[in-house]
Amino acid sequence: MSSTKKLALLGGNPVINTPFEEYESLRDSDIAAALEVLNSKILSEYIGSSGNYFLGGRRVKGLESTWKQYFKVEYAVSINSWTSGLWIAIGALGLEPGSEVIVSSWTMAATATTILHWNLIPVFADIDIATFNLNPVDVEHRITNRTRAIVSPDIFGQSADIESLKKICERYDLKLISDTAQSPGAKRHGYFAGTASDIGGFSLNYHKHIHSGEGGVAVTNSPELALRMQLLRNHGEVVVGQNRELKDQFGIMGMNLRLGEIESAIAESQLTALTDAIESRRRGAQLLTSLISELPGIFVPEISPGNDHVYYVYGMRFDFHKLGINRATLVRALKAEGVPAMQEGYQNIHSLPLFSEQLTFRGNPLPYSLLPRKRRHELSKTVLPISEKLHQTDFVGINWCAKRYTDNEVQSLAEAFHKVWNNLNHLREI
């Protein structure tokens, strides 16, 4: 075993000498689906006015129909990115400007910027230390009489605690949106993550489990919310203006967020790859967990009861007091052994100047200026102890979605961890 030999960081040979093989995310069948659209010479069939094609062409409708059957929901609304999806989801709620929307700080910035885009106020709540998803107890503490909705990410591959969040929503009459960009196919108590909220949705960008280059799909069981999202993605005001049955102009300030026919065809084809993709990532992650979980001072990914995990990120915490080294040293040592795709910390988007200094429209602090001064001040001082500590000192993630690790590759990852743990005393001296 090389695991007792000299660390690569200190001049020894690395456990992993050659980088792991890249995996191909597009299959021949996905490429054939795209070519079929190209050969049809119709790359989009949307029309931004009333009529048959207001809801898109053949492939857009095909994708949405397959998607809603797969995820067992009433409505699927495709868009050109999941950022666009968050924008139509929040817009569809029709909330009064200046209303507060509770959101996690451990997510991609779009989860919160799309709140600001509607002149709503993102209020950040802390996360659960074990799952990195919103902590419902902290969410409830941050509710005020201005709160109208919660946007809850299903981060790294598993669902948030939706039952608890829904109870809070019932108690305070709030809407719930799930950002399931990272967790398509993950289940909670048998249902798909993202499908138990008022609106959920998925990203189809290149870096996610399945993709069409760019793209996204929002899902809901509410006919009213589905209609509003369809209007928002395609210049809804023209239809509302023409159609006497649609008098509700409220919140319908539309955009062009339409997904093309090529991307729709690829996305529909990629959906048949989802089970395989998450199975292989789950298998690799479970193997790694079984091989490294006994090392002292490491906390491998925890799965919340009722969940299964699709491992977009393999997220770990460490007790660095116990290890006697800091995070930067640990990551440098693992990297030197050849462990790829690690990130120190994740996100703390509440500390971005956009939110913490309320620096929105070139210095005009809309929508924050809709709040009483005291509340603005309070929000600028938001403290999230768990999010901050994990980001600053305790968390290391491996971008697990970037590859499909073979059993041999996982064995060598685990060997790198064991080698570093066997040499902690040497790392304490540098």
| Count of residues interacting with ligand PLP (CB under 6 A) | 14
Q: Is there binding between residue 181 and ligand PLP (CB under 6 A)?
A: yes
Q: Is there binding between residue 182 and ligand PLP (CB under 6 A)?
A: yes
Q: Is there binding between residue 107 and ligand PLP (CB under 6 A)?
A: yes
Minimal distance in Å, beta carbon 72 to ligand PLP? 22
Minimal distance in Å, beta carbon 125 to ligand PLP? 15
CB nearer to ligand PLP: pick between 20 and 202: 202
Minimal distance in Å, beta carbon 375 to ligand PLP? 26
CB 181 within 8 A of CB 132: no
Minimal distance in Å, beta carbon 372 to ligand PLP? 30
Q: Which two tokens stand for residue 59?
A: 């492939």
Q: Is there binding between residue 113 and ligand PLP (CB under 6 A)?
A: no
CB nearer to ligand PLP: pick between 8 and 349: 349
Query: What's the CA gap between 267 and 210, in Å, rounded?
Result: 8
When computed from its CA atoms, the radius of gyration of the chain, rounded to whole angstroms, is 23
Among 81, 113, 147, 289, which residue sits at the site for ligand PLP (rule: CB under 6 A)? 81
CA-nearest of 2, 98, 30 to 262 is 30
Q: Is there binding between residue 110 and ligand PLP (CB under 6 A)?
A: yes
Beta bridge partners of 307: 188
Q: Give how far the C-alpha of residue 153 lies from the chain's centroid of Cα atoms, to the nearest Å.
A: 6
Q: Is there binding between residue 184 and ligand PLP (CB under 6 A)?
A: no
Query: What's the CA gap between 115 and 110, in Å, rounded?
Result: 8
Residue 31: CB atoms within 10 Å: 12
Q: For the residues of 160-229, what is the DSSP string, one character each?
A: --HHHHHHHHHHHT-EEEEE-TT-TT-EETTEETTSSSSEEEEE-STTSSS-SSS-EEEEES-HHHHHHH
Q: Is there binding between residue 82 and ligand PLP (CB under 6 A)?
A: yes
Minimal distance in Å, beta carbon 185 to ligand PLP? 14
CB nearer to ligand PLP: pick between 111 and 220: 111
Q: Is there binding between residue 105 and ligand PLP (CB under 6 A)?
A: no
Residues 396-425 that bind ligand PLP (CB under 6 A): none
Q: Is there binding between residue 87 and ligand PLP (CB under 6 A)?
A: no
- The span of 45-53, 76-84, 93-101, 187-195 binding ligand PLP (CB under 6 A) equals 76-84
Q: Is there binding between residue 83 and ligand PLP (CB under 6 A)?
A: yes
Region class of 27: left (phi > 0), else alpha (psi between -120 and 50), else beta: beta
Minimal distance in Å, beta carbon 193 to ligand PLP? 12
Q: Is there binding between residue 205 and ligand PLP (CB under 6 A)?
A: yes
Q: Is there binding between residue 179 and ligand PLP (CB under 6 A)?
A: yes
Query: Which value, to the nearest 10 degrees, does the dihedral of the CA atoms of residues 310, 275, 266, 256 take?
Result: -40
Minimal distance in Å, beta carbon 201 to ligand PLP? 9
- The span of 103-111, 242-250, 301-309, 329-337 binding ligand PLP (CB under 6 A) equals 103-111
Query: What's the CA gap between 385 and 430, in Å, rounded?
Result: 30
CB 330 within 8 A of CB 353: no
Residue 337: CB atoms within 10 Å: 24
- The span of 102-110, 164-172, 354-362, 392-400 binding ligand PLP (CB under 6 A) equals 102-110
Minimal distance in Å, beta carbon 89 to ligand PLP? 11
Whole-angstrom CA distances from 58 to 44, 54, 260 are 9, 12, 10
CB nearer to ligand PLP: pick between 179 and 409: 179
Residue 399 parent element (H or E): strand 395-399
- The span of 32-40, 105-113, 134-142, 367-375 binding ligand PLP (CB under 6 A) equals 105-113
Residues 122-161 that bind ligand PLP (CB under 6 A): 153
Q: Is there binding between residue 216 and ligand PLP (CB under 6 A)?
A: yes
Q: Is there binding between residue 203 and ligand PLP (CB under 6 A)?
A: yes
Minimal distance in Å, beta carbon 145 to ligand PLP? 28
Residue 96: CB atoms within 10 Å: 12
Minimal distance in Å, beta carbon 183 to ligand PLP? 9
Minimal distance in Å, beta carbon 127 to ligand PLP? 13
Non-local CB neighbours of 429 within 8 Å, separated by 6+ positions? none
CA-nearest of 187, 246, 180, 244 to 218 is 180
- In the block, which residue shows the tokens 């054939």? 32
CA-nearest of 70, 8, 50 to 268 is 70
Residues near ligand PLP, by CB under 6 A: 81-83, 107-108, 110-111, 153, 179, 181-182, 203, 205, 216
